[in-house]
Structure 1
């Protein structure tokens, strides 16, 4: 078990130099957002695998859908030439402008069109260029797409609508290109919200979303598009929605995250094991809505301590829902209050991004507090 003395000494060495803050360059080095580690999990496919980064895996999934489903269409701003992050690269060349096409710069129109296309029978795959710009389409998603099946008494639905959008910090995005809006949509019955942690998950979850009977929003951490590289099955495969993944098993503390934050927490688990002889259980929530309450609560009842980390601001972030559910279901098993390490309740900064993000050092410090509680 970690001691207060060890924790204090560790952070004195890392953050301070005899009581004086380190230089900004040094602090950026110590506060590096994450180190990506490839997925080692087995998928449903045992066939040929290829080395792909995350945008290539997404492109591969979209190619599979366009090839196998003649009613599938892809649309959004600049998707015709591949999009800002190249996820739709060459798809228009292969399948034509009637199936992969650009739209006006109008997010409300993109989602409104997608709802209509899905209701009419198309497999509609919309791209919102950045998650920060999804808010003009908020009404269409929350009041129309999510409620279409319910308000028609199951006579009609837009379950063949999938919305892809890049989210999260990228190192230089600033306040309009770095947000993580998952909590806004987690409050909406009728939608499903998914966040992949790497190429294998991105491909399998995207295919799962497209074929799901409900409208799905898949938030893709943009910094992983090129940083994340794995051996991805070339064949068609789907991964389940609503099921969390236990990436590292442990008995002393549960660390919960999604998207990029999963890799931060895996680093924290390594430091805890190597430096403090503490075993941490690391869980990727994978699906924000619906989320896997059973897996989370089972882990918390085993460890008695839990930390939730996400890039979005703390107030009303999805970590609050997780904390409330754990308190309700696991209260007598807790050895310490549920901790959250998150972004600040401010607009996302640019040059001060290292201070805003829930880095491994911030998460480690909070984990040590839980262990000493």
Structure 2
């Protein structure tokens, strides 16, 4: 049904700026931008944020870059800098997607078109299957294709292109051809007000697909290093960026060019009583939960691991930790049924059965579509994570 020309709706549409109608966004009940940290204010004070260069280069993975200077930036700026480095060091690299020319919804590509020109950073039509198919073709003929899906929730029209084409291109040609130069970026996870079309975590769908890699960074340092590694990896890689962290996560990031390993988890906190695993923004919820637990149970020792790569995932690091602690708790925002936590739980049960002191616990989203006004009750809160850890400890 169309609006009549005399109706308030028609006048509102006529007076609205084109950008208001053109760009996808997520809902905000108040009509004003919500705070950057959404329902995760603990990100700003997290011990995992490196606020000095000394803290940055204590990380063994970054010691080789200790001669570099660092710069304070948030996660979307780190993503932007990674693509800037990729474009500067690889003249076959191109960045494309819906509205990336002006910077994108989250400003991750801001300034890149002005710097490298519209032939290397350009907008595509609003068609996910089209832009991913285009990226496969670009990568197949030797380009480094960096595609942006505006929200992870909109990747599903491109599912066939990713799962049946990108992931299988090398295999079906007997390694004569490949599209390993393809990287697909997408904002994911909850932001506190996104609802069912702007808050999903679809990593488990793609983790079922041999031939691609899936990465979820937790911070600006991780986002830059993992994205550069993904862009240079000889396989198609999906990089899922927790949108709530784009502005909320701020730390000192090494300037220049560096990469972090794909397929390798990171132990953020050593412990001996229980192993806790998460990825993306859920790690800050787990950090809060562990602090609550340590206050309630003095002397408790919790080991916290950032999975970082969902496919391939670092079985050895998790296995080693669980053999030490005897207990495992996994937390993620995606629904519990067939979430990636189920794969971790099954694998660890097989490998560590005789060392487990309790059933593996999963703390996850509910098996319902993502709600809007109840979003903060859908995602695994610190209180729910504390209960899950206690259940493992008290078994």
* Equivalent residue number for residue 13 of structure 1: none
The residue correspondences of 1:263-282 to structure 2 (distance < 5 A) are 263-276=284-297, 277-282=299-304
2:39–2:192 contact (8 Å) kept in structure 1: no
Write the distance in 1 (CA, Å) between the matches of 2:106 and 2:379: 22
Write the distance in 1 (CA, Å) between the matches of 2:109 and 2:305: 30
CA positional deviation for 1:272: 2.3
* Equivalent residue number for residue 108 of structure 1: 129
CA positional deviation for 1:33: 4.1
2:39–2:191 contact (8 Å) kept in structure 1: no
1:138-192: per-residue Cα shift (whole Å, max 9, x none)? 0000000000000001100000000000000011100000000000000000000
**With structure 2 as the length reference, what TM-score do the two structures score?**
0.85
The residue correspondences of 1:282-293 to structure 2 (distance < 5 A) are 282-293=304-315
Which of residues 221, 240, 259 in structure 2 aligns to 1:238?
A: 259
- Aligned pair in 2 of structure 1 residues 286, 228: CA closer, same or farther (>3 Å)? same
Q: CA RMSD in A?
A: 1.1
1:65-101: per-residue Cα shift (whole Å, max 9, x none)? 1111110000000000000000000100000000000
Which of residues 307, 329, 340 in structure 1 aligns to 2:362?
A: 340
State the number of aligned residues.
343
Of stretches 93-102 and 41-50 in structure 1, the one that deviates more from structure 2 is: 41-50
Secondary structure, counterpart of 2:303 in structure 1: strand
CA positional deviation for 1:274: 2.8
* Equivalent residue number for residue 13 of structure 2: none
2:310 counterpart of 1:303 = no
Secondary structure, counterpart of 1:367 in structure 2: helix
Write the distance in 2 (CA, Å) between the matches of 1:256 and 1:35: 18
* Equivalent residue number for residue 198 of structure 1: 219
Write the distance in 2 (CA, Å) between the matches of 1:223 and 1:155: 41
1:190–1:215 contact (8 Å) kept in structure 2: yes
Which of residues 96, 102, 118 in structure 2 aligns to 1:81?
A: 102
| Structure 1, unaligned runs of 5 or more | 1-30
Write the distance in 2 (CA, Å) between the matches of 1:146 and 1:368: 40
Secondary structure, counterpart of 1:35 in structure 2: helix
Secondary structure, counterpart of 1:124 in structure 2: strand
Write the distance in 2 (CA, Å) between the matches of 1:183 and 1:34: 27
* Equivalent residue number for residue 75 of structure 2: 54
* Equivalent residue number for residue 35 of structure 1: 42
2:325 counterpart of 1:325 = no
1:33–1:357 contact (8 Å) kept in structure 2: no
1:34–1:264 contact (8 Å) kept in structure 2: no
Which of residues 110, 129, 134 in structure 1 aligns to 2:150?
A: 129
2:65 counterpart of 1:45 = yes
Which of residues 66, 89, 95 in structure 1 aligns to 2:87?
A: 66
CA positional deviation for 1:34: 5.8
CA positional deviation for 1:32: 4.4
2:185 counterpart of 1:164 = yes
The residue correspondences of 1:176-255 to structure 2 (distance < 5 A) are 176-255=197-276
2:212–2:235 contact (8 Å) kept in structure 1: yes
Write the distance in 2 (CA, Å) between the matches of 1:282 and 1:35: 16
**With structure 1 as the length reference, what TM-score do the two structures score?**
0.90
1:182-212: per-residue Cα shift (whole Å, max 9, x none)? 0000000000000000000000000000000
* Equivalent residue number for residue 25 of structure 1: none
Write the distance in 2 (CA, Å) between the matches of 1:201 and 1:34: 20
2:128–2:157 contact (8 Å) kept in structure 1: yes
- Aligned pair in 2 of structure 1 residues 117, 32: CA closer, same or farther (>3 Å)? closer
Of stretches 267-276 and 88-97 in structure 1, the one that deviates more from structure 2 is: 267-276
| Structure 2, unaligned runs of 5 or more | 1-37
**Higher relative contact order, chain-length normalized (CA < 8 Å, sep 6+):** 1
2:231–2:237 contact (8 Å) kept in structure 1: yes
1:321-359: per-residue Cα shift (whole Å, max 9, x none)? 000001100011111100000000000001111211101
Runs of 4+ off more than 6 Å: none
Write the distance in 2 (CA, Å) between the matches of 1:215 and 1:366: 35
